[in-house]
Amino acid sequence: MKHSLKQIIPNKLFSIKVLLKPAIVAAALSLSACLSQADSSALNGTTSQGNNLQVATFAGGCFWCVEAGFEKLEGVSEVVSGYSGGSIKNPTYRQVSSGSTRHIEAVQVFYDESIISYDALLYSFWRQINPTDDGGQFVDRGYQYKPAIFFHNLKQKMAAQRSSKALAATGRFDSALKTDLTKFTAFYDAEDYHQDYYKKNPIRYKFYRYNSGRDKYLEKTWGDDLHKPFATKVSMKNDTEMSMKVQAAKTKQYSKPSDAQIKKMLTALQYDVTQEEGTESPFTNKYWDNKQEGIYVDVVSQEPLFSSLDKYDSKTGWPSFTQPLVSENVKEETDFKLIYPRTEIRSRYGDSHLGHVFSDGPKPTGLRYCINSAAMRFVAKADLEKEGYGEFVKLFK
């Protein structure tokens, strides 16, 4: 699995082939390259060296995916992919993937306990795996891919037991939980090419992840609760602000004009982007480098979409945001225009094509809403009241 896609073991390659057309498989496989192995080293203890960060160790199948999931959390400083629970020191990926060493693919999470708790990490962990499958995870089969929690101390053990018991009591799963709870002994870093794989090889990672079945299972199992945030200290501070945003969404009604009206309202570029799913050029569009305070509304329906408070420089040349201003005004659809599926973003009332959302953004959400300037109109902070968006003035005080 972690070798290039050319090196995927036969049963995995078959699983992917049956899902995609041969031409698409060939295109994805052509992206592969032979990767070298590197030595790994052991990490032990409950705190990372040289600072006061706490350490947690989890196994949830493919460590590329689990690493990516934990790195999105506010308060997590670093996540390292590696191997734990086996019988030999410093195993290589090739040894672990054979199943002969009894190691499990795992990750070590270094986190600031003043920002995020171990309970919050467990909360995230359950939403990344299938806790009822001890024969592997999704497309990856075998002992080396089984789910496990390696506790570093009694406090972590008790927290994991409580969390597991609470999860089982929800009745969400048809079968019993089979996630091991094991005392931590040693952890060995995986080879360098495995670290931050989702960042270094985004196309290969997305191709693998989509075809692994992980996301389909999680969405089916958790539904709307999948992305429901844990009540961390940081998120609790934002509760009042988020409540205000939700209320703001209900204060007005927006609608989509007729196509004839839209053509009169918009420029050719705005029409192409919003109505025909076009994409404007990077770095030359209107708002990619806009640093003014204010909000961005749908150029068609005028519904509020994003805020300058959540805007950041993604180096892509398009306006990028970590989250919507009013989540109810933004809807997601799957776009299959490339060799891997993307999540398209559209406005709720105007049904305008806005852009796409990606999972490579900064904290606290880990998301990057990449939006076309042509799909939006900017309303400066000083103009919010007179343009009818007075409910958002408080955000900028």
Confidence of residue 87 (pLDDT cuts 50, 70, 90): confident
Q: Which residues pair with 149 in a beta bridge?
A: 58, 181
Burial class (CB in 10 A: 0-12, 13-18, 19+), 103: buried
**pLDDT: is 339 or 341 the higher one?**
341
Q: Could you give the CA distance from residue 162 to residue 172 in angstroms, rounded to a whole number?
A: 16
Q: How much is the average pLDDT of 265-282? A: 96
Q: How much is the average pLDDT of 107-122? A: 94
pLDDT for the residue numbered 231: 61
Interior CA angle at 42 toward 39 and 46, to 5°? 150
Q: Could you give the CA distance from residue 269 to residue 275 in angstroms, rounded to a whole number?
A: 10
**Omega within 30 of 0 (cis) for the link into 257:** no
Q: How much is the average pLDDT of 192-200? A: 95
Inform me whether the pLDDT recorded for 35 exceeds 80.
Answer: no
Residues 57, 9, 215, 309: what is their CA dihedral angle, to the nearest 10 degrees? 70
Q: How much is the average pLDDT of 296-300? A: 98
Inform me whether the pLDDT recorded for 42 exceeds 60.
Answer: no
> How high is the mean pLDDT of the chain?
84
Quickly count: other Cβ atoms within 10 Å of residue 391's Cβ. 17
310-330: per-residue pLDDT in tens?
999 999 999 999 999 988 899
In order of their start, the domains of the chain are: 5-231 (3.30.1060.10), 238-396 (2.170.150.20)
Instruction: Cite the active site residues.
Output: 62, 370
Q: Could you give the CA distance from residue 370 to residue 96 in angstroms, rounded to a whole number?
A: 38
Inform me whether the pLDDT recorded for 248 exceeds 90.
Answer: no
Q: How much is the average pLDDT of 258-285? A: 96
59-74: per-residue pLDDT in tens?
999 999 999 999 999 9
